[in-house]
Each structure stands twice: as structure tokens, then as C-alpha cells.
Structure 1
Amino acid sequence: MKLEGKVAIVTGGAGGIGHGMSLALAKEGAHVVIVDVNEENGQKVLEEVNQLKEGLLFIKDISVKENIESIVNDTVKHFGKIDILINNAHASRNVPFIETTMEHLDLSFGTGFYPTFHFMQACYPELKKTKGKVINFASGAGLEGQVTQASYAAAKEAIRAISRVAANEWGVDGINVNVISPIALTPGMEHWRAHNEEAYDQMVEKIPLRRLGDPEQDIGRTAVFLASADSDYITGQTIMVDGGSVKLR
């Protein structure tokens, strides 16, 4: 049990990759604090987590800074500490660059970058006490400049930037800050696949390992590694969990 007794906050923890990580962390003994806006899915995932280890669920809009502060404070009140912060939640719209508006940018930064930034600041005092771990999320959209994803790519690269800054500043406190850039077969991707079989097959053909990652076994297990003592000497890195699609230099 690599994470026995640890307390982990997972934003977007009720769906897709977040669901997979919540289960992977709980199976290793962590108390998982699920943060999501989908109450129905949140309750279902909390039930799964509670069968493994006591968890918490917050159904709150994390684009509101005050909600983030409330989540952090209530987590500490309930469990007494925070060991792991995973910033996974993010929403965006795909449109061509020339059609990208401030509304698109505000959605992407408001649900992804700013919550990541504010959660990191709010959790810092607790993470300093526990010599904790931060895991943020990037994307090949930003690393490769994928078409129609200007707002999403910009926010994801901004997240990578502040992750590197925090890794340099917080290393002296014993806090590790790393980034996962995943490709995974989520329910949303399954839905898209059902209506775009040919495009899906073409996408998979471009992945060296010829498959999409599993949210729990591939992405979740990587999160467990980065959240555990096994990764104590790794910080400031972007870990590509994408079947070899992007090879960082």
C-alpha cells in the first residue's frame, strides 16, 4: 500500500481520467477527496472509493476561488492534512484559431489554469507540512500545437510553466511538482469513437503502442507513482503517458 493513510485531492475526480486516478489512489490506501461538478457521477465514484478507503466528495465550481479555499479548509478539518494534490479538471471548446474568442479563453483558463494555480497556493501550507506531491495535467495539444485547440493548448502550457516554477521554489520544502500528459480511453472518447470509427482508428495507428491508455491502470498507476515515495527524486518533469505519441527533448 504505497499511499496508506495519505490524503489526496483530485479535481475532476468523478469522470474519465479523474475516476481512474481516484480508484488507483484508493486501492493504494489513500483517502481520496473527489472534487467535481457532476453530483451523480461524484456519488457513484465516492461509493466505489469508500469500499476501499474513506473518501470525501465536494460538488463545487472550482472556477470560484472561494470554493477552492473552502474545499482545502474542509479537507484539513476532516482528515487533518493534505499529502497529494492532483489538478485534473479542465473544460474547453475546440474551434479554429481565427475563431477563438475571449469566451473560449476564459472557459479554458477559468476551469483549468486558474483552479490549478489557486489550489496550489491554497494547499501549499499543508503540502509543506507533509512534504507532499503535486500532480498537474498537460496535453499533447499544447506540446504539439494541435489544430482547433488554441485556448486549451495555451492553458495547458501555462500549467506546465507554473509547475516548473513551483518545482524550483518548493523543492527546498520537500514538495515535488510534476505534470502528466496523457492519452486515455475515457467515456467521452468512447462516445466520440462510436461516431467517428475511421478517425479513431487513424489516431490509434499514430500511437507507437497502438492503443489508448486505461484511465486507472495506465494514468492512475502513473499518478500513484508520482504521489508515492518512489518518485521522491523527481520534480519539475512532464511525464508523457501517451503510448509514445510525443517524445520530449
Structure 2
Amino acid sequence: MKLNGKVAIITGSASGIGRGMALAMAKEGAHVAIVDVNEEKGKETLAEIRVHTEGMLFIKDITVQENITQIVEEVVKKFGKLDILVNNAHVSKQVLFNETTQEHFDLSFNTGFYPTVRFMQAAYPELKKNKGKVINFASGAGIDGQVTQTAYAAAKEAIRAITRVTANEWGPDHININLISPIALTPGVEQWKQQHAPEAYDAMVNKIPLRRLGDPENDIGKVAVFLASEDSNYITGQTILVDGGSIKLH
């Protein structure tokens, strides 16, 4: 039980990669607070978590600062501490660069970048007290410059930048801050597969050296468990590519 007795907040955890991480951490003994806007899926994931450990569910808009502060306070009130923060939630729209507007940037930064900043700031006192772990999320969209991903890529690279800064600033406080850049078979990818020709999906998979998409729990979730555990105590400020070998950083 690598995370026995630890307390985690995971944003965007009602489904997809967030759900996979929540289940992986719960099975390793962590108490998990689910943060999402999808109440139905959130309740389903909470029920799955409670098979293994204790959990909480927050159906909150994390673009609102007061909601972030409230979530952190209520988690600490219930469990007495906070050890792990996972900033996974992010919404964006795909359009070509020349069609990208201020609204596209606002959507991406307000749902991804700014909540990451605000959750980290709100959680800092508890993370410092408990030598905590922060897991932020990067994307191949930013690292590799994927077309139609201007606003999303910009926000993800901004998250990578503040992760490196805080890794330096918070290192003396024994807080580890790392990033996961994933590729996974999520409900959104499944929907895309159904909407497009199977050939397009197969072509995408065939570009991945391991020839498959990652499993949200068994692939992405287990790396998140590693980064949240004492096994990663000497790793900070790093981007961990959990993408089947799609991108190789040099």
C-alpha cells in the first residue's frame, strides 16, 4: 500500500485519466477527493473508490477561486491533512492558429492553467507541512506542437513552466512537483474513434511505438501512484512522458 493513509485531491477525476488515477491511488490506500463538474460520473467514481478507501466528491466550477479554497479547506477538515494534489482538469477547443481567438485562450487558461496555479497556492501550507507531492499535466500538444492546438498547447506549456519554477522554489520545503504527459484511451478518444473512420484511429495508434493507447488506471494511474509515493522522493521538476514512446525528450 504505497499511499496508505495519504490524502489526495484530483481534479477532473469523474472519468477518463482522472478516474484512472483516483482508482489507482485508492487501491494503494489513499483517501481521494474527486473534483469535477459531472455529478453522475462523479458519484459513480466515488462509489468505486469507497470499495477500497474513503472519498469525497466536489461538484464545483474550479474557474472560481472561492471554490478552490473551499475544496482544500473541506478536505483538510475531513481528513486532517493533504498530501497529494493532482491538477488534471482542462478544457479547450481545437482550431487552426489563424482562427484562434481570445475566447479560445480564455477557455484553455481558465480551466487548466489558472486552476493549477490556484490549487497549488491554496494547498501549499498543507503540502509543506506533509512533504507533499504535486502532479501537474503536460501534453504532447505543447511539447510536439500539434496542429489545431494553439490555446491548449500554450496553457500546457505554461503549466510546465510554473512546475519547473515551483520545483526550484518549493524544493527546500521537500515538496516534489512533476508532470505527466499522457496518451490514453479515454471516453473522449472512444467518442472520436466512433465519429471518424476506423482507419484514422488505426493510423494514430500505429504512430505509437508500443502500438496501443495507455490504460487510464493501469498505465497512467500507476505512474501517478509512483509520483505520489515515497518512491519518487528524489525526482522533481520533470516531465514524465507516459505515451508509449511517442515523444522522446532530449
TM over 0.5: yes
Identity of aligned residues (%): 73
Letter in 2 for 1:129: K
Task: Report the Cα distance in structure 2 between the residues aligned to 1:83 and 1:147, rounded to whole angstroms.
Answer: 37
Q: Does 1:163 align with 2:160?
A: no
Q: Name the counterpart of 1:143.
A: 143
- For 1:169-184, list aligned pairs within 5 A: 169-184=169-184
Task: Report the Cα distance in structure 1 between the residues aligned to 2:194 and 2:101, rounded to whole angstroms.
Answer: 30
Q: Name the counterpart of 1:231.
A: 232
Q: How far did residue 195 of structure 1 move?
A: 2.3
Q: Name the counterpart of 1:123.
A: 123
TM-score, normalised to structure 1's length?
Answer: 0.99
Task: Report the Cα distance in structure 1 between the residues aligned to 2:57 and 2:167, rounded to whole angstroms.
Answer: 28
Letter in 2 for 1:136: N
Task: Report the Cα distance in structure 2 between the residues aligned to 1:171 and 1:146, rounded to whole angstroms.
Answer: 32
**Deviation readout 1:89-133 (Å, 9 max, x if unpaired):** 000000000010110000000000000000000000000000000
Q: How far did residue 15 of structure 1 move?
A: 1.1
Q: How far did residue 18 of structure 1 move?
A: 0.3
Q: Does 1:245 align with 2:241?
A: no
- For 1:17-166, list aligned pairs within 5 A: 17-166=17-166
Q: How far did residue 198 of structure 1 move?
A: 1.1
Q: How far did residue 152 of structure 1 move?
A: 0.1
Q: How many residues align?
A: 249
Task: Report the Cα distance in structure 2 between the residues aligned to 1:239 and 1:175, rounded to whole angstroms.
Answer: 17
TM-score, normalised to structure 2's length?
Answer: 0.99
Q: Name the counterpart of 2:5.
A: 5
Letter in 2 for 1:126: E
Return structure 1 stretches of 4+ with deviation > 3 angstroms: none
Task: Report the Cα distance in structure 2 between the residues aligned to 1:144 and 1:2, rounded to whole angstroms.
Answer: 33
Q: How far did residue 145 of structure 1 move?
A: 0.7
Letter in 2 for 1:5: G
Q: Name the counterpart of 2:190.
A: 190
Q: List alignment gaps of at least 5 residues for structure 2.
A: none
Task: Report the Cα distance in structure 1 between the residues aligned to 2:108 and 2:187, rounded to whole angstroms.
Answer: 21
SS in structure 2 of the partner of residue 3 of structure 1: coil
SS in structure 1 of the partner of residue 241 of structure 2: strand
Task: Report the Cα distance in structure 2 between the residues aligned to 1:214 and 1:208, rounded to whole angstroms.
Answer: 15
